[in-house]
């Protein structure tokens, strides 16, 4: 991996919010997803700076310019009886890739996982993103389980579930 002279990783500060939100929009474009709307941008800013924050953000700088970010938070594993550091987003601008920024961001997340006493670090990767898959595998990461499928409830489906009345369990 070709490394740049000055890669730095640091926590998000209030003055970085517009840069962070811009990078989130860049990730959405890269993943062919709609970017956060104005209300979501406001929530992201509030949640990132809340006390305590709902998630944490690390910014990756290359030669004093922010070119990437990582968003993470803790979940919990009942089987390990330890927290898990969940990496929600990892993104580096295309022109800054292969210069050590992504590597530095992931390593800082790993250090934070160790500091927090986490038993593991997890994330998801889009199946078509060969560049990311190769990057993660080069770090020693492996796919979680081929026999597990990720599910999601959101939007209308989530709201509909909250409106359903519970039915008594069938007895035999």
Report yes or no on 158 lying in a domain. no
Q: Do 53 and 20 contact (CB within 8 A), yes or no?
A: no
- Which residues 6+ apart lie within 8 Å of 95 measured at CB? 67
What confidence score (pLDDT) does residue 1 get? 46
Residues written for the chain: 172
Report yes or no on 157 lying in a domain. no
**Of the listed 30, 69, 76, 136, which one is catalytic?**
136
Q: Do 69 and 59 contact (CB within 8 A), yes or no?
A: yes
Report yes or no on 169 lying in a domain. no
Please tell me the number of Cα atoms within 13 Å of 78 on its side-chain side. 0
What confidence score (pLDDT) does residue 170 get? 59
Per-residue model confidence as pLDDT tens for the chain (172 residues): 445 458 999 999 999 999 999 999 999 999 999 999 999 999 999 999 999 999 999 999 999 999 999 999 999 999 999 999 999 999 999 999 999 999 999 999 999 999 999 999 999 998 899 999 999 999 999 888 777 778 888 889 999 999 986 665 555 5
What confidence score (pLDDT) does residue 52 get? 96
Report yes or no on 19 lying in a domain. yes
- Which residues 6+ apart lie within 8 Å of 58 measured at CB? 9, 10, 11, 12, 69, 70, 72, 105, 108, 109
Neighbouring C-beta atoms of residue 131, cutoff 10 Å: 13
Q: What is the CATH number of the domain that holds 15?
A: 3.40.630.30
Catalytic annotation present for 151: no
Report yes or no on 20 lying in a domain. yes
What confidence score (pLDDT) does residue 121 get? 95
Task: Extract the tokens encoding 76.
Answer: 């919990």
Q: How far apart are CA 56 and CA 18, in angstroms?
A: 16
Report yes or no on 93 lying in a domain. yes
- Quote the domain boundaries for residue 60: 7-145
The total of structural domains in the chain comes to 1
Helix (H, G, I), strand (E, B) or coil at 119: coil
Report yes or no on 119 lying in a domain. yes
């Amino acid at each position: 991996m070709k490394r740049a002279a000055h890669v730095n990783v640091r926590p998000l500060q209030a003055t970085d919010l517009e840069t962070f939100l811009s990078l989130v929009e860049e990730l959405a474009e890269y993943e062919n997803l709609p970017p956060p709307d104005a209300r979501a941008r406001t929530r992201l800013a509030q949640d990132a700076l809340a006390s305590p924050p709902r998630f944490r953000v690390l910014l990756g700088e290359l030669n004093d310019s922010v070119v990437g970010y990582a968003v993470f938070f803790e979940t919990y594993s009942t089987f390990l009886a330890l927290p898990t550091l969940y990496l929600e987003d990892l993104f580096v601008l295309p022109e800054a890739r292969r210069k050590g920024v992504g590597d530095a961001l992931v390593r800082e997340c790993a250090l934070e996982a160790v500091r927090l006493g986490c038993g593991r670090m997890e994330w998801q990767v889009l199946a078509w993103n060969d560049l990311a898959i190769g990057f993660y595998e080069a770090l020693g990461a492996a796919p979680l389980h081929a026999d597990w499928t990720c599910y999601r409830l959101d939007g209308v489906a989530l709201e509909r579930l909250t409106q359903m009345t519970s039915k008594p369990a069938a007895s035999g």
